[in-house]
């Protein structure tokens, strides 16, 4: 225990905030984002399912779902515009590619480009909005992807205690400070670092290499792991730290206090 505390203190002094970045001020095209918002919530686009069906923006503002959908534990859509990799295997490398894949994938909206364009072409409202936004009488699939991508850029969380800490505007309370030092001392930041404390590195679990998930808003995004098999954050911490290590209840509470500082606010863009 003493050695772990000493290492945590040294890690926080030598590395600390240098491992992380605050959420950047995301630039986006407002007209495209507003059109993208309409598309995001349109269940007709997916034949009864919308982007929001899996990445819910109003249920506790988590940007995900509280249940497994089509065998998937949906990752949060919040701050996804700052991701370096998308999907469990990290095969998608850009936001637009992610949107296009989600529209077409069988276990997501499962629609072909033609089906999507045919659906939108039936709406005079959509035709007018695409023309005024993109300057073309014909709705193009690339423009659909662009609009939704611009909306996703608006879904950056702000005003988290952690971001304020990184900017020198907030001082952790004693419990948050202890949790932060434990986070470093347990080497959590080896994988969970950068802007999203994840989504930019890969880790090995049960012999499988996969993208390390973000810890942003972690207290709102249960269930956990790609399988969604764990509901309780304390159980997650016990598993990830290692069951062979005797983690005290106080340490768990301190870690959770720190993880709670990662919760930020998201404002849904309005006209």
Instruction: List pLDDT tens digits, range 125-179.
Output: 999 999 999 999 999 999 999 999 999 999 999 889 999 999 999 999 999 999 9
- Mean pLDDT, the chain, as a whole number? 90
**Rounded to 5 degrees, what are φ and ψ at 83?**
-70, 150
Question: Does the pLDDT of residue 206 top 80, yes or no?
Answer: no
pLDDT of residue 247: 86
pLDDT of residue 4: 44
Residue 6: pLDDT over 70: no
What's the whole-number mean pLDDT along residues 57-86? 87
pLDDT for the residue 3: 44
Residue 1: pLDDT band (50, 70, 90) is very low
Q: Do 212 and 203 contact (CB within 8 A), yes or no?
A: yes
pLDDT score recorded for residue 17? 64
Q: What is the pLDDT of residues 241-268, one digit of tens each?
A: 886 678 899 999 999 999 999 999 888 9
User: Is the predicted pLDDT of residue 62 greater than 90, yes or no?
Assistant: no
DSSP result, 98-146: HHHHHHH-TTTT---HHHHHHHHHT-HHHHHHHHHHHS-SS--HHHHHH
Query: pLDDT: is 9 or 91 the higher one?
Result: 91
pLDDT of residue 21: 94
Chain centroid to Cα 263, Å, comes to 11
Residue 183 has pLDDT above 80, yes or no: yes
Q: How confident is the model at residue 44 (pLDDT cuts 50, 70, 90)?
A: very high
| pLDDT for residue 15 is more than 70 | no
Per-residue b/e over 212-246, b at no fewer than 16 CB within 10 Å? bbbbbbbebbbbbeeebebeebeebbeebbeeeee
Percent of the chain with pLDDT over 70: 93
- Asked whether the beta carbons of 210 and 226 are under 8 A apart, the reply is yes
């Amino acid at each position: 225990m003493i050695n772990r505390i000493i290492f945590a203190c040294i890690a926080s002094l030598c590395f600390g905030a240098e491992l992380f970045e605050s959420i950047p001020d995301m630039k986006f095209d407002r007209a495209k984002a507003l059109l993208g918002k309409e598309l995001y919530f349109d269940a007709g686009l997916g034949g009864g399912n919308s982007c929001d069906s899996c990445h819910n923006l109003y249920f506790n503002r988590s940007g995900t779902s509280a249940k497994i959908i089509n065998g998937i534990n949906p990752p949060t859509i919040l701050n996804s515009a700052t991701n370096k990799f998308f999907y469990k295997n990290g095969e998608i490398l850009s936001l637009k590619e992610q949107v296009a894949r989600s529209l077409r994938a069988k276990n997501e909206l499962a629609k072909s480009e033609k089906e999507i364009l045919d659906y939108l072409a039936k709406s005079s409202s959509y035709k007018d909005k695409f023309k005024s936004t993109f300057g073309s009488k014909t709705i193009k699939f690339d423009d659909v992807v662009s609009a939704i991508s611009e909306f996703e850029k608006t879904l950056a969380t702000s005003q988290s205690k952690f971001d304020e800490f990184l900017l020198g505007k907030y001082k952790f309370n004693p419990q948050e400070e202890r949790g932060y030092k434990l986070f470093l001392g347990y080497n959590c930041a080896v994988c969970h670092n950068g802007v999203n404390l994840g989504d930019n590195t890969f880790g090995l679990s049960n012999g499988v290499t996969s993208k390390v998930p973000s810890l942003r808003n972690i207290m709102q995004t249960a269930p956990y792991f790609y399988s969604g098999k764990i509901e309780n954050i304390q159980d997650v911490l016990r598993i990830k730290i290692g069951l062979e290590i005797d983690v005290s209840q106080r340490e768990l509470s301190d870690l959770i206090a720190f993880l709670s500082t990662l919760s930020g606010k998201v404002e849904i863009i309005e006209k």
